[in-house]
Structure 1
Amino acid sequence: MTDDLGDDGNGLGDVATRRDELATRVRTHAGEIARELALFQGGDYGSETFETDAGSWTLKYEAGDVQYLRFDPKSGSEIYVVSSKQPPDPDDLETAMADYDAFVAAYDEYVASFEGLFDDISTDFPAVTSTAELTAERDRIVDRIREVATAMAGELHRYDGEYGTYATTVDGTRWELKWDGDAVSYLRVGGSDGVYLLSQYGPPPATELRRLVDDVEAFVRSFNEHVDELEADLSTVAFE
């Protein structure tokens, strides 16, 4: 893509008009290269530099469109052929356009250098081992924990109100059950950054469940002791 911006005698206005027309054509053409690079690189933004005998060209793109195209000649100052600012000076644009075809050729060589990149790749991948049995067993255990925790929630609801939390320590670790009515909102182990054995977001990781499941019994015993203490306190109340 070459063009001549020389003054043909019609004034600076015509030169500026031709400059703008050429800059628009370059933006459109460079935009096609930008889209191809974005597709190849697999990202919404990036940049690539291409070397020519006369200098280097850097194309930056974002969202599949050209952000700027900069020509850095081996002699002289850099030229923004395409940018988000004002169009280039006509003389600078003419200087850059003298090397534009070499820039496109460098891009073509870049693309050609990846020819055959995937020729030796096999897509015969091994079969994927199912986690169905493991997750089914996890879900069975979680369902059993939910049954027990729901029974606890019902008792807490009956005694302590519509909603609230019951917390205790098991082997040095905080266990907290939150209830809302007769339902369990969550059962969390380890504080605010802990593991949710029960929650509205789904079951816990199987490895975390295995680590904590043996302590569920101690958690329930602690709750029962709490209830026994409440009953003992109530038994001492006299009303005459």
Structure 2
Amino acid sequence: MTDGLEADVEGTDEIAQRRDDLAARVRSHAGEIARELAVLQGGDYGQETFDTDGGSWTLKYEAGDVQYLRFDPKSGSETYVVSSKQPPEPEPLETALADYGAFVEAYNEHVRSFDGILEDVPDEFPAIESTAELVAERDRIVDRIREVGNAMAAQLHRYDGEYGTYATTVSGTRWELKWDGDVASYLRVGGSDGTYLLSQYGPPPAPEVRRLAEDVPAFVADFNDHVDDLEADLERVSFDGR
């Protein structure tokens, strides 16, 4: 009788090598499908599931490469044929690869289902109206408002300091001018959520300019009244140096 300690131990190197070779080939082949899906879907990230008679295959891709390929047979446990971890065991891999051709055909049928889908889509479109004239007129009006705002800022700077805000109510709406030196930082109409007629970020939409521009003269008139009141107050101040 042969002592068990003297019996030969069967090696697994050949099986493991065969498994790794198959897994590498599947990864490469499935990677081509992943890249095609990324092109078809118009993005670098996504996943797609394909049904076969043997089960379902889910391919997840990222940056145009396969992240995993999972086979969920109709009977038995799911197998990650391709994954970021170790390759599957030989027997589950063998079961999955027996259905791999059906998975590829399901993918091909998926692609063929899009044949002709764009044939009747028009590739000629109506002419686009230019906004150049409207924008030019909007900018002309805003530039004029900015000139007025800067003139007001210069007066406020002279009397009230380097920076600050002047606010009044026009037609029941709050108008607020903020100045920094001789420059208007912003002119806001309607409180904190209102419209910035003047700002550092660019002009407001043309409809807002149209809606508010008519009240600019009233805003200026209120400011002038404010200046007149200040001048009257100053006139009443006396200083006797004796």
TM-score surpassing 0.5?
Answer: yes
Question: What does 1:35-74 align with in structure 2 at a 5 Å threshold?
Answer: 35-74=35-74
* Partner residue, 1:6: none
- Give TM-score scaled by structure 2 length: 0.88
1:173 aligns with 2:208: no
Matches within 5 A, 1:67-146: 67-146=67-146
TM-score, normalised to structure 1's length?
0.89
Task: Using the TM superposition, give the Cα deviation of residue 169 of structure 1 relative to its aligned residue in structure 2, in angstroms.
Answer: 2.2
For residues 11 and 175 of structure 1, what CA distance do their matches in structure 2 show? 87
Ranges of 4+ aligned residues in structure 1 off by more than 4 Å:
none
**Aligned-residue offset at 1:110:** 0.9
Single out whichever of 20-29 and 110-119 deviates more from structure 2: 20-29
Distance 1:24 1:225, change over 3 A: farther
Aligned 1:147-186 pairs, distance under 5 A? 147-186=147-186
1-structure distance, mates of 2:199, 2:172: 22
Q: CA deviation at 1:115?
A: 1.2
Distance 1:215 1:104 in 2: 69
Aligned residues between the structures:
232
Where 1:167 maps in the other structure, the secondary structure is: strand
Q: Which has the larger radius of gyration?
A: 2
Q: How far does the alpha carbon of each residue in 1:89-132 deviate from its partner, in whole angstroms, 9 at most, with x for none? A: 22211111111111111111111111111112221211111112
1:74 offset after TM fit, Å?
1.0
| Residue correspondence of structure 1 range 184-195 to structure 2 within 5 A | 184-195=184-195
RMSD: 1.8
* 1:207-236 residue CA offsets vs partner (Å, 9 max, x unmatched): 111122222122212211221222222222
CA distance in 1, matches of 2:20, 2:226: 82
- Of stretches 223-232 and 52-61 in structure 1, the one that deviates more from structure 2 is 223-232
2:198 corresponds to which residue?
Answer: 198
2:214 match: secondary structure: helix
Letter of the aligned partner of 1:54 in structure 2?
Answer: G
Tell me: CA distance 1:216–1:76, structure 2 relative to 1, closer, same or farther (3 Å).
same
Structure 1: runs of 5 or more not aligned: 1-8
Provide, for residues 21-45 of structure 1, a one-character-per-residue CA deviation record: whole Å limited to 9, x for no partner: 3223222222221121111111232
How far apart in 1 are the matches of 2:132 and 2:69?
Answer: 53
Q: What is the Cα deviation at residue 85 of structure 1?
A: 3.1
After superposition, give the CA deviation of every residue in 1:51-101 in whole Å (9 maximum; x if it has no partner). 111111111122222222111111112111122333322221111111111
Change beyond 3 A, Cα 1:92–1:184: same
In structure 1, distance between residues paired with 2:41 and 2:119: 18
TM-superposition CA deviations, 1:4-37 (whole Å, max 9, x none): xxxxx96234333332332232222222211211
Residue-by-residue CA offset, 1:150-204 (whole Å, 9 max, x unaligned): 1111111111222222222223322221222212221112222221111122111
For 1:33, what is the secondary structure of its paired residue? helix
- What amino acid does structure 2 have at the position aligned with 1:20? D
Write the distance in 2 (CA, Å) between the matches of 1:25 and 1:193.
Answer: 60
* Secondary structure of 1:119 counterpart: coil
Unaligned runs of 5+ in 2: 1-8
Q: Quick one: distance in 2 between partners of 1:10 and 1:205?
A: 80
Matched letter for residue 73 of structure 1? P
